[in-house]
Amino acid sequence: MKVTWTSLHDQARVAVAALSRPDLAGQSFEIGSPGAMTGAELADLLAPYAGRAVRFEPLSPAEFGQRVEQVLGVPGMGYVLTDLYTALSGMPPEGMVIDTDAVERVFGITLTPAADHLAAWKPMAVPA
């Protein structure tokens, strides 16, 4: 399944643009960075920054929820994430793809592709 990823940087840019647009009050918008990709495609983008091959290994919603709960140490988080990702996994193949052109037009901004975000973060990357 292809997913439109997003960054805090782009989310902040949309939020700032939205705050200056009272005409958009009460509306909702899906936001993301241009270029929806699969987990394997994202892994390929991350590999140069990790200094090694990166492989995407899908987990079931229950496995994902359990792992995140263990890492965060928040009781009940696993159930919440399991329910969320179970619902997401039932979406059609293009259900997580967002029309970023429409967001750019409405808010008058240019969103940043994930590859460009990664290139900007490279100085902060630490090889594993």
pTM over 0.85: no
Distance CA 66, CA 81 (A): 8
Q: What confidence tens digit (pLDDT) does each residue in 69-127 have?
A: 999 999 999 999 999 999 998 999 889 999 999 999 999 999 999 999 888 876 555 55
Q: Pick from 97, 113, 90, 102: which is nearest to 27 by CA?
A: 102
The radius of gyration of the chain's CA atoms, rounded to the nearest angstrom, is: 17
Q: What confidence tens digit (pLDDT) does each residue in 7-56 have?
A: 888 999 999 999 999 999 999 999 988 999 999 999 999 998 888 999 99
Say if CB 110 and CB 13 are below 8 A apart.
Answer: no
